[in-house]
Amino acid sequence: MTETNILSSLSSALAETIARAAPAIVSVHSHRARASGFVWKAGLIVTADEALADEGEIEIQFADGSRRPATVVGRDHTTDVALLRVEGDVAPVKLSTGSPALGSLAVIVAADRGAPTARLGMVALSGPAWRSLRGGEIDARIELDVRLRHSQQGGLALNAAGEPFGMAVLGPRRVLTIPATTIERVAGQLEKSGRIARGYLGVGLQPVRLDDGLGAMVMNVDKTGPSAAAGIRQGDVIIAVNGEKLSGVRALSRGLGPQSVGTVVELTVHRGGEPLNFKVTVGERPET
């Protein structure tokens, strides 16, 4: 096969791949913000939470040009997944839970004011599960070497076989993909209960530097929260969790994921210069 035929075949294959995915791709219009999304289930749209406005009305624009109002089913800031409900009968996409190989081609199919858009790049990193800066559990770290506009966040990332393996979002340095496994898990919980349970200690913390490391000073205590019930007071300085030195307030917060609710953690604190241990049963963070 000549080089011209190879390029022509590749071009045709990409165009066909994009055409198959395009009908399920939508534009998400919220207050002074535009993003992309896709039909996850009948009447349910998944989009990037970071690209969705915090207030105001939401409108979905479909590939056929029609516009329909949408409501928020639930949002998870930690995994960047938001679920919207809208009337419509567009066929949903079928996500692939497999991870793409490093160096393989990836196509992002998104939308701009309802019109399908596409970006071609490659998988720059394909690694194991990781935890986001906000504490969300992401089932695989997939980075794409591709440019992405803000309005294209929430679009589908497809492999060379045309299988959607995740949702494209803007990361701190590269375009990241929220993998299909994470989307199915988080969107499923949002559909069921409208929220993701998070661990709750019931304290406000301020990082402090100690002679032998880092600590977290308790600035306020929820009188009805788990820490108050365990005996922790305002002014205590947390220095260790389950016997391990505290590495920072953010690390402590990241450890309070959905799986932490109901577990017992041992907090070591300094109070008046003396170390004390408290067993705290992690609660569920109130919706407010």
- Which residues, 6+ apart, have CB-to-CB distance to 56 below 8 Å? 30, 31, 32
Taking Cα atoms as reference points, which of 37, 54, 55 lies closest to residue 46? 37
Looking at residue 164, the DSSP 8-state letter turns out to be: E
pLDDT above 90: percentage of residues in the chain: 71
Q: How confident is the model at residue 2 (pLDDT cuts 50, 70, 90)?
A: low
Give the burial class of 29: count Cβ atoms within 10 A of its Cβ; 0-12 exposed, 13-18 middle, 19 or more buried: buried
Look at residue 212 and tell me whether its pLDDT is greater than 90. no
On whether the 1-195 domain is CATH 2.40.10.120, my answer is yes
* DSSP string for residues in 87-130: ---PPPP----SPPPTT-EEEEEEEETTEEEEEEEEEEEEE--E
- Do the Cβ atoms of 247 and 255 come closer than 8 Å? no
Q: Which of 46-50, 86-90, 175-179 has the lowest mean pLDDT?
A: 86-90
> pLDDT per residue over 32-62, tens digit each?
889 999 999 999 999 999 999 988 899 999 9
Mean pLDDT confidence for 113-140: 91
Confidence category of residue 257, pLDDT binned at 50, 70, 90: confident
Q: Are strands 115-127 and 130-131 parallel, antiparallel or unpaired?
A: unpaired
What average pLDDT is seen over the chain?
Answer: 92
- For the segment 200-208, the average pLDDT, to the nearest whole number, is 94
- Residue 3 clears pLDDT 80, i.e. is over it: no
The Cα 8–Cα 29 span in angstroms is 36
What number does CATH give the domain 199-284? Answer: 2.30.42.10
Q: Encode pLDDT of 183-197 as tens digits.
A: 999 999 999 989 888
Which pLDDT value is given to residue 288?
58
Q: What are phi and psi of 215, to 5 degrees?
A: -140, 175
252: three-class secondary structure by DSSP: helix
So what's the pLDDT on residue 4? 67
The whole-number pLDDT of residue 157 equals: 97
- Would you list the domain boundaries of the chain? 1-195, 199-284
